[in-house]
Amino acid sequence: MSDEFVAHHVLEFPGGYKRSLGPVISRFLTCLRDGRIEGVKLADGRVLVPPTEYDPVTSEPAGDPVEVGPGGVVTTWTWIASPRPKHPLDRPFAWALIRLDGADTAMLHAVDTGSAAAMATGMRVTPRWRAERVGHVKDIECFVPEGKS
Task: Point out which residues bind another protein (CB under 8 A).
Answer: 1, 3-13, 15-21, 25-27, 29-31, 33-34, 64-65, 67, 86, 134-136
Q: How far is the CB of 136 from another protein (least distance, A)?
A: 7
What is the rounded CA–CA span in Å between residue 130 and residue 35?
A: 9
Taking the least distance from each CB to another protein, the nearer of 38 and 112 is 38
Separation in Å, CA 107 to CA 3, 69, 79, 95, 110 = 42, 11, 16, 10, 10
DSSP E strands in 35-139: the ranges are: 37-41, 47-48, 65-68, 72-80, 93-100, 107-111, 124-129
Q: How far is the CB of 100 from another protein (least distance, A)?
A: 17
Q: Which is nearer to another protein, 29 or 62 (CB)?
A: 29
Between 35 and 114, name the residue whose CB sits nearer to another protein.
35
